[in-house]
Amino acid sequence: MARIDLVDLAHSYSGNSADIASYALKPVTMTWRQGGAYALLGPSGCGKTTLLNLISGIVTPSQGKILFDGVDITPLSTQKRNIAQVFQFPVIYDTMTVGQNLAFPLKNRGLPKKEIDARVAEIARLLDLTPYLTRKAMRLTADAKQKISLGRGLVRSDVAAVLFDEPLTVIDPELKWQLRSKLKALHRELDLTMIYVTHDQTEALTFADTVVVMHDGRVVQSGTPAELFDKPAHTFVGYFIGSPGMNIVPAEVRGREARVDGYAIALNRSYDALPSGAKIEIGVRPEFVDVAAPAPGLISANIERIDDLGRVRFARLRVGNAKFAARVPPGFSVPGDVAGLIFDPSRVHVYADSLLVEGST
Amino acid sequence: MDKTINQKAWFLVLPVFLVVAFSAILPLMTVVNYSMQDTFGNNQFFWNGVGWFKELLDPSTDLGSRFFASLWRNLFFSGVILAIEVPLGIVVALSMPREGWRVAVCLVILALPLLIPWNVVGTIWQIFGRPDIGLLGYVVNGIGINYNYVSNEFDAWVTVIVMDVWHWTSLVALLCYAGLKSIPDAYYQAAQIDGASRWAVFTAIQLPKMHRVLLIAVLLRFMDSFMIYTEPFVVTGGGPGNSTTFISIELVKIALGQFDLGKAAALSLVYNLIILIVCWVFYTVMINAGAERPAKQGVA
């Protein structure tokens, strides 16, 4: 158990001399607190697995340091790092039984047999593997094998962190839900730091207290699911999280007013010192824009289609050249091809070169 | 729906049937025919029933004693070279690089002995081992070890075994290497995470994953060594005495040396049968090993 600090950590697969823009992981400094449930969220190729492998020591960083409880462990090998990791595809030891598989990490570290048995029994109970302990692991299904892999990750009680690299990819959707809530329960029960890599926002948001969003080798935001939803720090977070994603449209912002396609939108805060020459956009989640009958003073948009998601309907619109999504209020029937849009001013954010700008009140 | 019946389709099979009959069935039946007869030359044959087979399987007769002596020699030889080549092949495969230009270099070097014609291998070792002009024989004698494969049975065996190891360990190594290459990196990474020692990685991951290729390697090497002829024939000619006379060498002596076609035919058939049985045993074992797929019922 430990706090994990990353200090100016970066990695390039093509050597130290490579251009920083080509780094798989661009320099990052952050802290993972003991006992936290973290999710590393991002699309494929954003560097999340690289970051994970750097922490576990499978990959050696090109620069920077990793500290466990303030101790620099960067030069240590994986074996000496006291870390557990579960991989995307099940890894089981074919010739061993389920019980021996679970005991393997403990046996290798020379724990007394009594302690191993007790720990294996506990983990097997938590993962519902008890009836299978004496079966050969090789003959089980992929689901069961992945459970064994998870079990091997969780069996050591003293690890600094347990890292999960998209561990539920091979699992059936229904079982995925069960296993994910099981992991969450295990996290509470075992008091381990867990870092969970995924490209699935539902998985990330349901599992973690803190979600770390990565994009193009950079950590773009780290926060609670609510923070990511309410106040995306980067336009990428805006449209990657949420379904449909955040509306991001180019705008001219002056003081407390943004102009889009010639129409004015009121803002809650004042933006006076926007960097000059930057690309200015406003971002607002579809949940906070309502479709209304066209009226003077409202942005007018062309309706392309209405998506009925059951509990809520979203209109897909076009404002000028920009695509837009907005909520259709319950009971509101769409009058024609053209609609007006009503914005919630407190939910409209301003971005300069994709980064959130804090306005002054 | 009525099936169209057209017996003329048999004509399509006929060419294959003729070719197989001409090239396989008839020659085999000729051997079966010979094995039941005795001849004193002049193309005169006398019916002998199963007489040759009785004699062959009775160690108290001349034919029987020669057959069993060479059979044990053959089994001993196969056992020894398997015991050396399999572990050695595994060690070589494990110590090969996993990526980079060195892989190609290693593969070419390993493949070299396999590309040399068998009687050339025999000739190489025949000369290599000679105490007067051979590098190996000269050096070994030079450091004070009396070594002469022509006159000493033990030396002859050592030469034949070392030659086979030199020639065929590469095959085992290449097969094992292919098996090792198919292991995903995640297994090694997981083993690192689990704190496995080098030995634990070998026994828990590498050996089980090489299980199938090792079976194939053992099968191939057993078959090949059980049928070995050319190399020992070139090096020792089956000697000194009969000490390195394997079944195939014995067979050629009886068939072409003594022109005892009946005895030779009987021996060939028994020899063939042994090989078929061993093949069948290996095949069954391999199929059963392959059937150990994950069962459908499992943990849900």
Cα separation, B73 vs B80, whole angstroms: 11
- Residue A287 contacts by C-beta under 8 Å, 6 or more apart in sequence? A242, A327
**pLDDT at position A108 over 60:** yes
Amino acid A145: pLDDT: 87
Cα separation, A191 vs A182, whole angstroms: 14
Contact yes or no for B193 and A105 at CB 8 A? yes
Residue A349 structure tokens = 């954010």
**pLDDT at position A324 over 60:** yes
**pLDDT at position B290 over 70:** no
Q: B137-148 b/e with 16+ CB inside 10 Å = b?
A: beebeeeeeebb
ipTM: 0.75
Task: HSE, CB side, 13 Å, CA atoms: give it for residue A303.
Answer: 23
How confident is the model over B20-76, as pLDDT tens digits? 999 999 999 888 888 888 877 677 778 877 777 887 788 888 888 888 888 899 999
Say if A89 is an interface residue toward chain B (CB within 8 Å): yes
**pLDDT at position B252 over 90:** no
Cα separation, A217 vs A221, whole angstroms: 12
**pLDDT at position A60 over 80:** yes
Name which of A106, A102, A136 is nearest A120 in CA terms: A102
Contact yes or no for B299 and A108 at CB 8 A? no
Torsional class of A15: left (φ above 0), alpha (ψ -120 to 50), beta (otherwise): left
Contact yes or no for A83 and B195 at CB 8 A? no
Choose the closest CB to A140 out of B184, B190, B299. Answer: B299
Q: Which residue of A has its CA nearest to B189?
A: A58
Cα separation, B286 vs B217, whole angstroms: 12
**pLDDT at position A266 over 80:** yes
Q: Rounded to a whole number, what is the distance in Å from the CA of A21 to chain B's nearest CA?
A: 27
Helix axes B261-290, B207-226, angle to 10 degrees: 170
Residue A148 structure tokens = 């064994």
Sign of CA dihedral B152, B157, B163, B166: negative
Q: Which residue of A has its CA nearest to B183?
A: A91
Amino acid B300: pLDDT: 37
Domain ranges within chain A, ordered by starting residue: 4-240, 250-357
C-alpha radius of gyration, chain B, whole number: 25
A-chain CB neighbours of B200 within 8 Å are 104, 108
pLDDT band at A297 (very low <50, low <70, confident <90, very high): confident
Amino acid B79: pLDDT: 92
Q: Are strands B37-39 and B45-47 parallel, antiparallel or unpaired?
A: antiparallel
Choose the closest CB to A108 out of B187, B197, B205. Answer: B197
**pLDDT at position A274 over 50:** yes
Q: B181-191 b/e with 16+ CB inside 10 Å = b?
A: eeeeebbbbbb
User: Which residues 201-220 of B are in CB contact (within 8 Å) with A?
Assistant: 203-205, 208-209
The correct CATH number of B51-286 out of 2.60.40.1080, 3.40.50.300, 2.60.40.420, 1.10.3720.10 is 1.10.3720.10
A-chain CB neighbours of B190 within 8 Å are 85, 87, 91, 149, 152
Helix (H, G, I), strand (E, B) or coil at B270: helix
Helix axes A98-108, A113-126, angle to 10 degrees: 130
Cα separation, A327 vs A142, whole angstroms: 41
Q: Rounded to a whole number, what is the distance in Å from the CA of B186 to chain A's nearest CA?
A: 7
Domain ranges within chain B, ordered by starting residue: 51-286
**pLDDT at position A86 over 60:** yes
Name the CATH topology of A250-357.
OB fold (Dihydrolipoamide Acetyltransferase, E2P) (2.40.50)
Residue B142 structure tokens = 């030079």
Domain at A4-240: CATH code: 3.40.50.300
Residue predicted with more confidence, B87 or A158: B87
For range A73-88, the mean pLDDT: 85
- Residue in B189, B192, B194 to test binding to A, most A beta-carbons within 10 Å: B194
Amino acid B294: pLDDT: 42
Amino acid B295: pLDDT: 41
Averaging pLDDT over each range in A149-158, B161-170, B278-287, which range is the top one? Answer: B161-170
Helix (H, G, I), strand (E, B) or coil at B226: helix
Amino acid B21: pLDDT: 92
**pLDDT at position B85 over 90:** yes
Say if A224 is an interface residue toward chain B (CB within 8 Å): no
A-chain CB neighbours of B212 within 8 Å are none
For range B98-119, the mean pLDDT: 89
Say if residues B31 and B265 touch (Cβ distance below 8 Å).
Answer: yes
B-chain CB neighbours of A149 within 8 Å are 190
Contact yes or no for B186 and A89 at CB 8 A? yes
- Cβ neighbours of A134 (radius 10 Å): 9
Mean pLDDT estimate for chain A: 85
Cis-peptide, bond into residue A112, ω within 30° of zero: no
**pLDDT at position A77 over 90:** no
Contact yes or no for B192 and A104 at CB 8 A? no
Say if residues B266 and B35 touch (Cβ distance below 8 Å).
Answer: yes
Residue A78 structure tokens = 């994986």
Mean pLDDT estimate for chain B: 85
- Cβ neighbours of A285 (radius 10 Å): 24
Count of all residues that appear for chain A in the document: 361
Say if residues B129 and B149 touch (Cβ distance below 8 Å).
Answer: yes
- Residue in B187, B189, B202, B299 to test binding to A, most A beta-carbons within 10 Å: B299
Say if B193 is an interface residue toward chain A (CB within 8 Å): yes
Amino acid B297: pLDDT: 39
How confident is the model over B150-196, as pLDDT tens digits? 888 888 888 899 999 999 999 999 999 999 998 888 888 888 888 88
Helix (H, G, I), strand (E, B) or coil at B92: helix
Name which of B35, B74, B85, B96 is nearest B262 in CA terms: B35
C-alpha radius of gyration, chain A, whole number: 24
Say if residues B270 and B264 touch (Cβ distance below 8 Å).
Answer: no
**Matching CATH topology for A4-240 and A250-357?**
no
Amino acid B165: pLDDT: 93
pLDDT band at B291 (very low <50, low <70, confident <90, very high): low
Contact yes or no for B299 and A58 at CB 8 A? no
